[in-house]
Structure 1
Amino acid sequence: MDFEYVARKLYRSGAKMNEIVQTLKNMGADEEFSRALLEEISNSENINDSFVGYVCNYPKSEVSATEAGVGCRGMGDFYVHRKIAEIIGRTSAIIDPSSMDDGGAVISQAGDDKKIVVAVDGMHSRLGNFPFLGGFHAARAALRDIVVMGAEPLALFADVHLGTEGDVGKIFDYTAGISAVADVLNVPLVSGSTLRIGGDLVVSDRLMGSVGAVGLASKIVPRNYAREGDVILMSLGCGGGTITTAAIFHGWHEVVKITLNLDFFKGAIPLVRSDFITKLHSMTDVTNGGIRGDAHEISEYSGKKIVLDYEALRMTVHPKVLEMLDALDIDFMGVSTDSLLIIVNKKLAKDVASFVEEHGLPMFFVGEVREGHGVYLKKDGKEVKMMPEFREAPYTPVKRVVGTAVPKNWERAKRAIDDAAIKAVEKRKKIKELLFGK
């Protein structure tokens, strides 16, 4: 429970001090704590310096994270991501958030024309009670994101936030999960940060964190360079944090063991080190709301039509994972399977697939790139347009209740989100001018 959220909400509604104190006491806080919190809220809600007040107040959209689908890897989440990229704007990086890629890249200043590639991934929000799994899969995800951009991994860094009631052992278990990946792949975990969630004011044992990775590349392989006539390859995917979460909360616990592997890197890292890397047009990992989401973004940012074969796609999911997804009626195309996806010239496709397979990662021909726009699925002799849902396929019992439907007020919400993003840009500009003269 979040004492500050409740107290601040009541304060803003005009509730009397004694009423707020009593509410906090009913939640488990004592009198002294409650009144101290109220003093903090009163002072922070009534800032008497206009500049500080401007800095402290954020642009309100009146759209919640749930309403916007934030973190749910669907159309809502993608829309918010695009707004974040717009706020950052074009930068001096060769790959920045405007590319909506797996990570970012800058030119090394060492004079060797190398590219420094950076990516960060949050641990799955439902794995806080299973910290080793959370750390393991977040580390894998961050490393995948730099490898698919053509980089050799150099280092990992991590962040962890623990609730006030959280056992310190969770931090250690989370770190062990990250370092297990680091040790096996010989990529050192070099630094990190440890904080609490909401300081003293959020009573929870929740653990959240993220893992970042840094790599070095000679050639960047962005995911939006698909060309007409290219072939799309995908590796066998066993899933990561998403599949682990589905397995735990649906009782398919044996599937968790299947996800605990580093097979992706058996094929991907040798590929990055090979001469093939200079000939690939696009590479990514299938994570953003499954192939539905990733294919949509590749099509949108490359300006090409993506055509995928349904039966071939099914072959890219580990049989036991696919069995679970089918049994639970979870769309395998709408969840992260962590497959390696490569887009390459048709003449090279067979050689590239054979090379990756020789290093222990099975590959499949799943589609092609054509002139046009959109993503199409070949199934039962027909081509049908395939779109991501508003949220990824619901893979836990709770997510099934929440559903994937587009909110009724989504168009209004988008306008409000747009307005908040514009105001954030204006705020940055104004503060830069006031503080730094530019």
Structure 2
Amino acid sequence: MSIAETGEFGLIARIVARLDSGQGALLGPGDDAAVVAAPDGRMVASTDMLVEGRHFRRDWSGAADVGHRAAAANLADIVAMGAQPTALLVGLCVPTDLDVSWAEELAGGLSAEAGLVGASVVGGDMSASATLTVAVTALGDLRGAAPVLRSGAQPGDVVALAGRTGHAAAGYAVLSRGFRTPKAFVEAYRRPQVPYAAGTAAARLGATAMIDVSDGLLQDLGHVATASVVGIDVRREAFTVPEQMRDAASALGVDPYVWVLTGGDDHALVATFPPSVTLPENWRIIGAVHEGTGVTVDRREWQGGMGWDHFR
């Protein structure tokens, strides 16, 4: 059945049936607006969108995969502020000949990813469009803590990473060449594995700055360096490139460190900490903050692109 056949309100009913309620939702879908708890008195908010042909392809990813990716991109922004995600709002623009089951599976993916952090999809809007677009707004609660900004890094801080980088970029590269393996990288591109708990943990540990790696490690660290008016140096030796990634890079004629240092969509978290902080095992030190500007690798300027730019 197509969306044109089921109609707007029939589609809404089908999507709502796929959603689970989280603890932060006092009133979910079904009224003019949702009601979300904000015990802290402050609400952290972020928005992002996925456009077919630009951010995803239906022949590469299933609808549930797109839902997971769309939710993860926004939830990662919330935890990168040190906040706890509470709710998602979803704007959906769809071609009228799209099968209803695709929209239902999308909703299932969105709801499942939100459920990983105890959040829920509480509402949204939809429209007919020639271009399939998923726009998500995420809300979060600081729970009494100060937000961790990009502007707090200080010379002498260490730079640490939670999560992985390069896996989604490797998956994108093999998909772009018409392959479907190695499966581990293709799945990493389809569904990011975000270290959600590491964000709030970093805030408690005293992180001075933090950002999620959505556009590439070097590029996103560049945002921290600019906001904090410091220089950041990354040590190449801090990264262990899996053998399977080396093999894939060799087959495609790519330096695997290009994926690791400039590839996006893994949504790892990178933060700066005072050197006195003892970091847990899921955070590994990859560099240092110093007086200066910009981002270097082994104290040298990186030769090549720094990461993703929508308009480049």
Q: TM-score, normalised by structure 2?
A: 0.72
Which residue identity is paired with 2:236? Answer: Y
Which of structures 1 and 2 has the bigger CA Rg? 1
| Pairing of 1:275-424 with structure 2 (within 5 A) | 275-276=204-205, 279-288=206-215, 290-312=216-238, 314-315=239-240, 320-321=244-245, 323-325=247-249, 327-328=251-252, 329=254, 331-332=258-259, 333-336=261-264, 337-348=266-277, 351=278, 353-354=279-280, 357=281, 362-378=282-298, 383-386=299-302, 389=305, 392=308
Report percent identity of matched pairs: 23
How many correspondences in the alignment? 260
Residues 128, 207 of structure 1: CA spacing in aligned structure 2 closer, same or farther, 3 A cutoff? Answer: farther
- Which whole-Å deviations, capped at 9, do the CAs of 1:106-164 have from their partners, x for residues lacking one? xxxx8x86431001121263424132222101101101101111111111111111124
C-alpha distance in 2, partners of 1:345/1:246? 36
Change over 3 Å in CA distance of 1:167–1:238 after alignment to 2:
farther
Q: Which has the higher strand share?
A: 2
Say what the alpha-carbon RMSD is for the aligned residues.
3.1
Find the partner of 1:249 among 172, 176, 186. Answer: 176
Q: In the alignment, is the contact (CA less than 8 A) between 2:218 and 2:306 conserved in 1? A: no
Q: Which has the higher contact order (CA 8 A, sep 6+)?
A: 2
Rounded Cα–Cα distance in structure 2 between residues aligned with 1:283 and 1:168: 39
CA contact (8 A) 2:210 2:224 kept: no
Sort the Cα spacing of 1:305 and 1:391 in 2 relative to 1 into closer, same or farther, 3 A. closer
The separation in 2 between residues aligned to 1:170 and 1:146, in whole angstroms, is: 27
- The verdict on how the C-alpha distance between 1:306 and 1:184 changes in structure 2, with shifts beyond 3 A counting, is closer
* TM-score computed with the length of structure 1 as normaliser: 0.53
Tell me if structure 2 keeps the 8 A contact 1:162–1:208.
Answer: yes
Q: Kindly indicate whether residue 146 of structure 2 is the aligned counterpart of residue 219 of structure 1.
A: yes
Letter in 2 for 1:344: F
With over 3 angstroms needed to count, the CA separation of the structure-2 counterparts of 1:240 and 1:183, relative to structure 1, is farther
Task: Give ranges in structure 2 of 5+ residues lacking alignment.
Answer: 1-37
**Counterpart-to-counterpart distance in 2, 1:387 and 1:172:** 44
Residue 325 of structure 1 and its aligned partner are, at CA, apart by: 4.6
Alignment of 1:252-271 (within 5 A): 252-253=180-181, 254=183, 255-258=185-188, 260=191, 262-271=193-202
